[in-house]
Amino acid sequence: MSAHGKSRTIKVGYLARVEGEGGLYIRVKDNKVADVKLKIFEPPRFFEAFLRGRQFTEAPDITSRICGICPIAYQMSACQAMEDALGVKVEGPLRDLRRMIYCGEWIESHTLHIYMLHAPDFLGYPDAIRMAKDHPDIVQRGLRLKKTGNELISFLGGREIHPINIRVGGFYKVPEKKALESLRDNFQWAREAALETVKWVSTFEFPDFEQDYEFVSLSHPDEYPIHEGRIISNRGMDIAVRDFDQTFEEEHVEHSNALHSIIKGRGAYFAGPLARYNLNFDKLSPLVKEAANAAGIDSQCHNPFKSIVVRSLEVLYACDEVLRLIDRYQKPDKPAIDIKPRTAIGYGCTEAPRGILYHRYRLDEAGTILDAKIVPPTSQNQKTIENDLRQFVPGVLNLSDEELTLRCEQAIRNYDPCISCATHFLKLDIQRE
């Protein structure tokens, strides 16, 4: 259909450079957006159903299979929920090791998105491999940075994807101080590469697109939130993780196999790097604050297209944090705390690379899971992505269908959506009438 006609439909049958399967349908009537549907047709896999009857010790390994890109997030939220249920707290060096491996996942996942999935949009390439023909050094740097994150995950977790060393109560095996220190040189290189990444992405051109969002993230009194904290927002929310179900609810809409999560009585919200950054800027290290300043990013950033810069700042933070934690590490006496099952309900929430990831489990006296609930970040952002497109599309309707489709895809990729997680994405479908 003509770009200049009165009505127009844009369809992206199969969204590329996102994790999982989805599509987008937009109907435009008289130059107004009449309908936006982010369609998730990733087939459902029913994790919450088959977790019933499994042992509490199995939840970290089983739920990690929800997502191959952020398995540690699933393992950590599951462990935290089980430890909450069973009345134990992982502290000291074991807690530091968890934070360290989680930093590895942020580095690996964010760098994948920055270099391989998102940057090609800004520079006009279909993918990073073709981008590498013109910018070999930049793509090589991205690959090595991503590899540094993966090497940390392999070192502490046994392997990059679905690590095997994380358990309820701690780890199966903890490293010697000396072995951990062997990673230091790599992370010193990575910190420099992360700084270069921030500089590089801050030179991109960003559409002028600021929205008034309710940002939701964890918050911790002493540190930038990764694996522990209360859930807060910029509109006054400040709740314990156990109050998640009273504050949020999930809706089942026809066009998506992923449930839509909303704040009760208020609606859509925004989770992920931008939310963490805006709500916790003061907890970033001096190096990161300085880099943000140099990149022209204020302590508040409400433009989702600039999420690529914020993601780069978080990679820099994660590298800085790994170095700090390596320095203070002392090998603990035992790799895990002893745990006894009991009848209880436990709640866990950690910051997956894409935003808060909530788990809740009810256990019987033998530690068997009676029911489970999992709310992944992409299902929380689905409504906000649709709202963004409603606001964004009218300003770019003069573009050809091809260009418009590309810009819509970019607007979706701002959220680094992980559709495997959310159904546990994207075909674009724009209809102009």
Partner 1 sequence: MQMKTRKPKLAVWKFASCDGCQLSLLDCEDELLAVAGEIEIANFVEASRAVVQGPYDLSLVEGSITTPHDAERIHKIRRQSKHLVTIGACATAGGIQALRNFKDVKEFISIVYATPEYISTLNKSTPISDHVFVDFELRGCPINKMQLVEVISAFLNHRRPNTPPHSVCVECKQRQTVCVMVAQGIACLGPVTHAGCGAVCPAYNRGCYGCYGPKETPNTASLSAWWKHLGTSEESLVRAFRGFNAYAEAFRKESEAHEAKK
Q: Please give the residue ranges that form the binding site for partner 1 (CB under 8 A).
A: 14-21, 42-50, 52, 54-55, 58, 61-62, 65-69, 71, 112, 116-117, 120, 126-130, 132, 136, 139-140, 143-144, 146-147, 150, 158-162, 164-165, 172-173, 250-254, 257, 259, 335, 371, 406, 409, 418, 420, 424
At 29 the three-state DSSP class reads: strand
Tell which residue, 87, 85, 64, has the closest CA to residue 165: 64
Select 252 or 340, whichever has its Cβ closest to partner 1.
Answer: 252
Considering the complex, what minimum distance in angstroms separates the CB of residue 16 from partner 1? 4
Q: Report, in Å, the least distance between residue 392 CB and partner 1.
A: 19
CA-to-CA distance for 42 and 291, rounded, in angstroms? Answer: 38
Residue type for 371, please? D
Which SS3 state, helix, strand or coil, does residue 212 take? Answer: coil
The CA distance from 13 to 24, in Å, is: 7
Q: Which is nearer to partner 1, 214 or 409 (CB)?
A: 409
Q: Tokens 């992206």 label which residue?
A: 12
Q: Give, for 307, the enclosing helix (H) or strand (E).
A: helix 307-328
Query: Considering beta carbons, is residue 87 or 136 the nearer one to partner 1?
Result: 136
Q: Which residues contact residue 238 at a Cβ distance below 8 angstroms, ignoring those fewer than 6 apart?
A: 219, 230, 231, 232
| Residue 130 vs 184, nearer CB to partner 1 | 130
Total Cβ atoms within 10 A of residue 219 = 18
Q: How far is the CB of 309 from partner 1 (least distance, A)?
A: 22
- Shortest distance in whole angstroms from residue 68 CB to partner 1: 2
Question: For residues 173 and 235, which CB has a smaller minimum distance to partner 1 in the complex?
Answer: 173
CB of 183 vs partner 1, minimal distance in Å: 16
Q: Is 182 helix (H, G, I), strand (E, B) or coil?
A: coil
Nearest to partner 1 of 284, 322 (CB atom): 322
Q: Are the beta carbons of 358 and 240 closer than 8 angstroms?
A: no
How far is C-alpha 382 from the chain's CA centre? 13
Shortest Cβ 93–partner 1 spacing (Å): 17
**Cβ of residue 60: shortest distance to partner 1, in angstroms?**
12
- The CA distance from 63 to 151, in Å, is 22
Phi-psi category of 91—alpha, beta or left, where left has phi over 0 and alpha has psi -120 to 50?
A: beta
- The sign of the CA dihedral 389, 392, 394, 397 is negative
Is the Cβ of residue 49 or residue 240 nearer to partner 1 in the bound state?
A: 49
Q: Which is nearer to partner 1, 53 or 221 (CB)?
A: 53
CB of 15 to partner 1, least distance (A): 8
Q: What are the C-alpha distances in Å from 247 to residues 277, 356, 426?
A: 22, 14, 29
Q: Which is nearer to partner 1, 279 or 406 (CB)?
A: 406
52-84: b or e for each residue (b if 16 or more CB lie within 10 Å)?
A: eebebeebbbbbbebbebbbbbbbbbbbbbbbb
User: Going by DSSP bridges, is the β-strand pair 22-29/428-432 parallel, antiparallel, or unpaired?
Assistant: parallel
> Please, what is the minimum distance in Å from the beta carbon of residue 221 to partner 1?
33
